[in-house]
C-alpha cells in the first residue's frame, strides 16, 4: 500500500492553495465542501474565484508564494503550472510537517486527492496512488451508478439510533443482524424516499419489541421493455434484495438472472385466456407474503402503471395496510419505438400520441374509435397481437385509410428484436407470415415511415413476395 487512506477533518480549518486558475478552483470547491477556511495565493484569480473572494468565501493574498505563508495551515495545495514554484511550496509545507498536494505531481506530494463519492455523511474515496487518475475516476463512476443517492440520508438516520441499538442489543452478532435487517429492508427504503418520520416510528417500534420481527413490504418494479441495460438503478437494487419475486411472461429471462440467487421465484404469468393465477389471487398472494415479513418484488414488464395492472394491485395492498413502493420502468412503447427508430411524435407527422390496450377487461375492442382515428397522431397498441385483424378492420371501418403505415415490433430492445412495417390492410398477413409472437407492440401512424431512415438497432429480413405493399426492417 503506497498511501495510507485517511479522512481528514477540515471543518473551519485553515488551508492554503497556491494558484488562481481552473485547477485551483476545482481543489477549492472540494475544500469548501469540507468546511475549510481557504486562503489563496496568486497574482490573479479566475472570474469565479474572484467572485468568491469578493463574497468572503475565501481569503485572497495577491502576489507570489512565500514559504512563510504555510505556517499554521492544516493542509496545503500547489496548483500552479510552474514546477519550480510547486517545488518551493512542497518543500515549505514538508518542512513544517504539513500535508501537501501538488496537482498531477505525486513525486512532490505527501498526499493525493482521491476520486470521491459523496453521500455525506457516507463518503467513499478511490485512488490509484496517483499512477492512473483516469482509472480512479472510472471506478468512481461505476460506484456512483450502484450506490443510491439516499444512502446519505440513511447514514444520518442510522447514526441517530446508534446508541439505542447498542443498548438494546448487547451481543455484537445480534446487533449486526439487526442493522442488516434495517439497512436492507423496507425501513431503509422509507428513509431514502424521504419518509423519515414513518421510519423513526417503525425503528422505535422494533427497538421496543422483544421479538424484533421485521415487517414485510411489496415493491412493484418496472422491468422495462426487456433489455437489462434499461433497468433503473433502483429497480436493480430492489431485485437484489427481494426475498420473493413474482414475475410474468413479459419479463425476459435475462432480467430474472439479476434477481438475488436465493430469492424464491413465483411465476404468475398472464396470457390472453390463459392465466397462471387470476389477478385477485396475485393481489392476495402479495398480501400474504408481505404479512409474513418478506420483501416481495412484483416484477412487471415495461412500467407498472402503463397497462401493467399496478393500480389494481396496490389498491389491495393499501386495503390490507401493506407498505408498498412503485418503481417506474421504461414503458414498452418508449423502448420499442426508440429501438425501432420510430419517433412517437414528430412535427411533420404526429403532434400527439395515444397508448391503448388491444382489448378491454371483458375481451372486447369497443374503444374510442373517433379519438383513435384522428389525423396527425400516433397510436400505440399494447396486447393487440391476437386481435390484430379485428383492430385493423376497426381502424379502417372508422375512417382510417387502409394504407396508413403500421409497424409491429417483437421482443423490443433485445437481441431478438424484429421490426415489421406495412399498412393497416397488410398487417394481419404480415404477422402471420413472419410468425410474430408476444411480446409485441403495434404502432399506427405516419411516423412509421421514418423507421427505414432512423432505425439503428434492427434485425433485417426480406419481406415475403406475397406482400409487395409492405416492407420489413
**Residue list, annotated binding site for S-adenosyl-L-methionine:** 225, 301-303, 383, 412
Give the E-state strand segments of 95-241 in sequence order.
Answer: 100-102, 115-119, 122-126, 217-222
Burial 307-335 (b: 16+ CB within 10 A, else e): bbbbeebbebbeeeebbbbbbbbbbbbbb
CB atoms within 10 A of CB 116: 15
- Please say if 368 is a catalytic residue: no
Q: In DSSP terms, which residues pair with 221 in a beta bridge?
A: 299, 327
Phi/psi of residue 443, nearest 5 degrees: -120, 130
Binding residues for NAD(+), by number, are 22-23, 43-44
Binding residues, by number, are 22-23, 43-44, 225, 301-303, 383, 412
CB atoms within 10 A of CB 162: 11
Catalytic residue among 32, 104, 118, 270: 270
The answer to whether residues 49 and 72 touch, using CB atoms and an 8 Å cutoff, is no
Catalytic residue among 27, 243, 248, 294: 248
Locate cell 378491454: which residue?
360
Q: What is the rounded CA–CA span in Å between residue 234 and residue 241?
A: 11
Q: What is the rounded CA–CA span in Å between residue 244 and residue 264?
A: 5
Q: In DSSP terms, which residues pair with 352 in a beta bridge?
A: 377
- Please say if 300 is a catalytic residue: no
The answer to whether residues 59 and 50 touch, using CB atoms and an 8 Å cutoff, is no
Characterize the bridge pairing of strands 471-472 and 377-382: unpaired
Q: Tell me which residues are annotated as active site.
A: 248, 270
Amino acid at each position: 500500500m503506497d498511501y495510507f487512506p485517511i479522512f481528514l477533518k477540515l471543518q473551519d480549518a485553515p488551508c492554503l492553495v497556491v494558484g488562481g486558475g481552473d485547477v485551483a478552483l476545482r481543489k477549492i470547491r472540494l475544500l469548501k465542501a469540507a468546511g475549510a477556511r481557504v486562503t489563496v495565493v496568486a497574482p490573479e484569480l479566475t472570474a469565479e474565484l474572484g467572485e468568491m473572494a469578493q463574497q468572503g468565501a475565501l481569503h485572497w493574498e495577491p502576489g507570489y508564494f512565500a514559504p512563510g505563508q504555510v505556517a499554521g495551515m492544516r493542509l496545503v495545495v500547489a496548483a500552479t503550472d510552474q514546477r519550480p514554484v510547486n517545488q518551493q511550496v512542497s518543500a515549505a509545507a514538508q518542512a513544517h510537517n504539513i500535508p501537501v498536494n501538488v496537482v498531477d505531481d505525486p513525486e512532490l506530494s505527501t498526499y493525493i486527492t482521491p476520486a470521491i463519492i459523496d453521500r455525506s455523511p457516507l463518503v467513499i474515496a478511490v485512488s490509484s496512488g496517483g499512477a492512473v487518475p483516469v482509472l480512479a475516476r472510472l471506478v468512481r463512476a461505476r460506484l456512483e451508478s450502484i450506490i443510491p443517492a439516499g444512502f446519505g440520508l440513511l447514514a444520518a438516520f442510522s447514526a441517530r439510533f446508534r446508541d439505542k441499538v447498542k443498548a438494546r442489543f448487547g451481543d455484537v452478532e445480534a446487533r449486526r443482524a439487526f442493522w442488516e435487517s434495517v439497512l436492507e429492508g423496507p425501513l431503509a427504503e422509507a428513509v431514502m424516499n424521504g419518509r423519515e418520520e414513518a421510519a423513526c416510528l417503525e425503528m422505535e417500534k422494533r427497538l421496543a419489541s422483544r421479538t424484533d420481527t421485521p415487517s414485510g413490504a411489496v415493491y412493484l418494479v418496472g422491468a422495462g421493455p426487456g433489455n437489462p441495460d434499461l433497468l433503473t438503478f433502483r429497480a436493480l437494487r430492489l431485485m437484489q434484495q427481494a426475498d420473493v419475486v413474482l414475475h410474468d411472461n413479459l419479463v425476459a429471462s435475462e432480467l430474472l438472472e439479476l434477481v438475488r440467487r436465493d430469492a424464491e421465484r413465483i411465476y404468475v404469468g398472464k396470457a390472453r385466456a390463459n392465466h397462471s393465477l387470476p389477478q385477485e389471487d396475485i393481489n392476495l398472494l402479495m398480501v400474504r407474503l408481505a404479512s409474513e415479513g418478506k420483501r416481495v418484488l412484483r416484477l412487471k414488464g415495461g412500467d407498472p402503471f402503463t397497462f401493467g395492472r399496478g393500480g389494481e394491485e396496490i389498491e389491495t395492498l393499501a386495503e390490507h395496510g401493506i407498505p408498498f413502493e412503485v418503481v417506474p420502468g421504461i414503458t414498452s412503447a418508449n423502448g420499442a419505438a426508440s429501438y425501432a427508430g420510430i419517433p412517437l411524435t414528430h412535427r411533420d407527422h404526429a403532434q400527439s400520441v395515444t397508448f391503448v390496450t388491444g382489448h378491454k377487461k371483458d375481451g372486447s375492442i369497443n374503444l374510442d374509435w373517433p379519438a383513435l382515428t384522428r389525423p396527425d397522431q400516433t397510436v400505440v397498441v399494447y396486447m393487440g397481437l391476437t386481435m390484430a385483424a379485428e383492430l385493423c378492420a376497426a381502424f379502417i371501418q372508422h375512417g382510417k385509410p387502409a394504407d396508413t403505415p403500421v409497424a409491429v415490433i417483437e421482443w423490443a430492445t433485445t437481441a431478438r428484436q424484429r421490426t415489421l412495417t406495412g399498412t393497416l390492410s397488410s398487417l394481419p398477413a404480415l404477422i402471420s407470415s413472419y410468425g410474430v409472437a408476444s411480446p409485441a407492440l403495434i404502432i399506427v401512424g405516419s411516423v412509421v415511415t421514418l423507421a427505414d431512415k432512423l432505425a439503428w438497432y434492427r434485425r433485417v429480413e426480406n419481406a415475403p413476395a406475397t406482400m409487395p405493399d409492405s416492407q420489413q426492417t
